[in-house]
Amino acid sequence: MLLVVGPLLPAVEASTEDGCPAGGERASKEQGRRSRRHHQKHAAEELWVFGDSYADTGNLGNLGRELTHAWYDPYGKTFPRRPAGRFSDGRVLTDFVASALGMRTPVAYKARRRASRETLARGMNFAVGGAGVLDTGNFQRNISAQIDLFQAMHRTQQRGCGKRTALVVVSGNDYAYAADKDNGTSAAIAYIPTVVRELREQLRRLRDEAGMRRVVVTNLHPMGCTPVFTRPLNYTGCDPLANAGAAQHNAALRSVLAALDPNNRTFLLLDVHTPFAAFLLDDNNGDSDNKKFKSTLRPCCESFRPDGYCGEEDENGTRQYTLCDDPGRYFYWDDVHPTQAAWAAVARTFRAAVKSFLST
């Protein structure tokens, strides 16, 4: 919008709090184009993160050891050497995507009031453990509600403003919820069209309403290879039906992105499935000493009981789990989440693609 102060004085461009030009009917198209070019040229890179525990860097509140393991030992053992709300021994996907952009990890929404203005200008992480595209029964903000938070923080949205990038991380909580509710993987697979349809709407919102210049969205890893599925098989193989469901989700997501963005200008499919599969399904990636991971299907932190959890203690404070000596030799940290070393290995496969896409 233009602030008109009189016929003999120059117009002054109004801006939003984040330095982006405010939109308005009075601004001409040419002025709008010039303004966007100016702000894109001089604006800092921003990363806004939406999703679940694969991306959460501290948004899940501390509700006790049983419900929120990530705030208790042994989580954070590698980084930052204490529990800090990350669902791993160390860094997670958000950290590595931020690194690919040449920036620090954006502050978690929960920690925003302690952050500096400079930190807040780089973006924010709204992702929270347990969240899904739809409601998952975990009482956490789904992706739609996370985008609502972003929009509430920005009075005016303008597509193409600055260098806003959204990272959307979906790792399967919707399908875990459907399987638990209806007691089977087949029920989860039947839920795929509903989940992908809603995901499409949220991706559209990020582009058309939230002003994101680029949107990076993950596909699903081979879910049947997570330890929660491999433990019943004595860690000797993956669940083929769960993996087939992940493949079906990924195919539907590719179709959605092709329809939303035929010219691949706004959306980037961040393929985590391929590198996960390369490590988890490759017969040559066994227990040989010259392999990156000593163990791919068994987690570093393993509960004593199948229905237990990493970090569990009994009433006397005695550990009810085993912990490996070197998380860097394990792909999975607990029954669902990768180690920092696994995320680092996966990130090496997409780092160049992310940098290239976001630099255009």
Q: Where is pLDDT greater, at 287 or 151?
A: 151
Q: CA 202, CA 196: separation in Å to the nearest integer?
A: 10
Domains detected in the chain: 45-272+348-359 (3.40.50)
**What is the pTM for the complete model shown?**
0.87
Give CA–CA dist 123/252, Å, rounded: 29
Of the given ranges (9-18, 176-185, 250-259, 313-322), which has the lowest mean pLDDT?
Answer: 9-18
Annotated active-site residue in 18, 52, 56, 334: 334
Q: Reply yes or no on whether 255 is catalytic.
A: no
Give the pLDDT of residue 282: 72
Q: Give every CB contact of residue 357 below 8 A, 6+ residues apart in sequence.
A: 214, 216, 268
Does the annotation count 261 as an active-site position? no
* Model confidence pLDDT, tens digit, residues 234-291: 999 999 999 999 999 999 999 999 999 999 899 999 999 999 999 998 754 444 544 7
Residue among 35, 53, 171, 303 flagged as catalytic: 53
pLDDT at site 43: 61
Residue bearing the bigger pLDDT, 148 or 35: 148
What is the mean pLDDT of the segment spanning 62-79? 93
Share of the chain above pLDDT 90, in %: 74
**Active site includes 337?**
yes
pLDDT at 28 (0 to 100): 47
pLDDT score recorded for residue 181: 84
